[in-house]
Amino acid sequence: MRTPAVAVTGLGMITPVGNDTESTWDGVCAAVSPARTVPALAGCAIDFACVVDGIDLDAEIGRRTAFRMGRYVKFAVLAAREAVADAGLDPAGWDGSRVAVVVGTSSGGSAHLTDQALVLERKGPEATSPAGVLLTIPNMPAAEIAIEMRATGPSMAPCTACSSGVTALSVARDLLATGQCDVAIAGATESTVFPIAMTGFARSGAAARADGDLSRLSRPFAADRAGLVMGEGAAVMVLERVADAEARGAEPRALLAGTGATTDAHHPTSPHPDGRIARAAVEAALRDAGWRADEVEHVNAHGTATVRNDAAEAALISRVYPHRPPVTAPKGVLGHCMGAAGAIEAGLTVLTLQRGVVPPVANLDAPAPGFDIDCVTKVPLVRPVRRAVSHSFGFGGHNAVVALQRP
C-alpha cells in the first residue's frame, strides 16, 4: 500500500553560500563555489573547504543557550526557525504533543569531542566544558529544536552517513502517515570542517587536493573530477498531511510523494560497481510515488565529484531515465555537506519545482565521455518541472531517494 504524499509547507537552510533559503538558492544558481582556505586547518593535508560564513551563530541563537550547542546544532536550530516561520506556524499556539522532530546528522559533534579531548590532555579534567557531552552527541539538533519549538511528540536523529537527510524526511513522512504527529520538523545538519575529519578524508583518497583555483576544485561528473570538497550546513522542512495544510490555508511548496532506501552491502566506502542496489532505491521511490521512470523531469544527483561515485551514478541515471531529464549536482557549489547534503539537495529540488529553474552544475563544461546524462551547465535551465527526484548515497552503502512533485 502506498504511503500518501505529504505537503512541504516550510523550508529553512543555512549553507556555505547563504544563511537562509533565498540566499542559498541564489548562490547555487550562480554556480560559483565559495571554497577557501580555512585557518583552523593550517598544517593539514587539506586546508580548504566550503564553510558557512558571515553570521554570528552565537548571537543568532542567543548566548544564554549557545554555549551548550555545537556548531552543527546551531545550524539546525536556525534552519528550523526559518522553516517553521516559512510554514506560517507559531509554536506558541500549537499542540506540541502533535509535533515531531526528525533531524539527522552523520558525524554529530565529532569536532567538539576532539577539542575536549585535547583540553583534557593538556589542561586536565577541570578545564573541560560542563556541556562537553551536549556538544558531541548526535541527537542534540533534534533535542534543541524540540526544546525551542515546544515539540513534545516523537524526536529522532537518523544517522545514515550522507543519506541522513533523506532518511529523516522518510521517517517524518511515516510518522505523519501513521498518525503519530500532525506536524513534522525534518532535515539534517553537519559540520565536519576540523583537522581530524579533513585528515581522514585526505587519507581515504576521496578528497580533492589543492590545485589552482579552489573555487573550481569540485567538478561533479567532469572527466577531470578530482574528488570531494568538504562543505557544511543544514536544511529543515516542515511537513504536514495535505488535508491539514489545506484546512489551515497553507499553500505547500511541494509534495513529498515517495521515498526509497536500500543498502549496497558491498564495501564501507565504494558504491556497488554495477549500481543495481542504488537503482533499487530509485525504483522503490518511484513505486512509492506511483510514477513511471519516464515521468521524472529532473534529477538532483548525489554527484560527489569522486571518480567511482560519479561513474556509478551516471550509469544509474542513464539506465533508469533513458529520456535524459536535466541533471544538476549542487556539490559543485556547496561542497559535500555530508549528513546534511541530502536534506539540502531535497530542499533545492523543492525550489526547482516551485520556480521552474534547474541550477547548473558548477565547474562543468560537459559530462565525462561515456556519461550519457544531460547535465545542466553554465547557466540555470528555465523549464517547468512537475516531478523530480533527489539521490543520496552514503558511506556504508546507504542509498536513499526522495520523489517530490508540484502540488
Reported pTM:
0.96
Our measurement of the distance from residue 173's CA atom to the centroid of its chain's CA atoms, rounded to an integer in Å, reads 17
Beta bridge partners of 235: 13, 188
- Please report, in tens digits, the pLDDT of each residue of the chain (407 residues total): 678 889 999 999 999 999 999 999 999 999 999 999 999 999 998 999 999 999 999 999 998 899 999 999 999 999 999 999 999 999 999 999 999 999 999 988 787 778 888 888 888 888 888 877 878 889 999 999 999 999 999 999 999 999 999 999 999 999 999 999 999 999 999 999 989 888 888 888 888 998 889 999 999 999 999 999 999 999 999 999 999 999 999 999 999 999 999 998 888 777 777 778 999 999 999 999 999 999 999 999 999 999 999 999 999 999 999 999 999 999 999 999 999 999 999 999 999 999 999 999 999 999 999 999 999 999 999 999 999 999 999 888 899 999 999 99
- Residue whose C-alpha is closest to residue 264's, from 164, 400, 371, 168: 400
Which residues are known catalytic residues?
Answer: 162, 302, 336
* Predicted local distance difference test score (pLDDT) of residue 1: 62
Beta bridge partners of 143: none
Cα–Cα separations (whole angstroms), residue 231 to 66, 208, 237, 304, 328: 22, 12, 20, 11, 17
Question: Are the CB atoms for 170 and 402 separated by under 8 Å?
Answer: yes
For residue 362, give every residue at least 6 positions away whose Cβ sits within 8 Å of its Cβ, in sequence order, or none. 31, 32, 33, 218, 219, 220, 332, 333
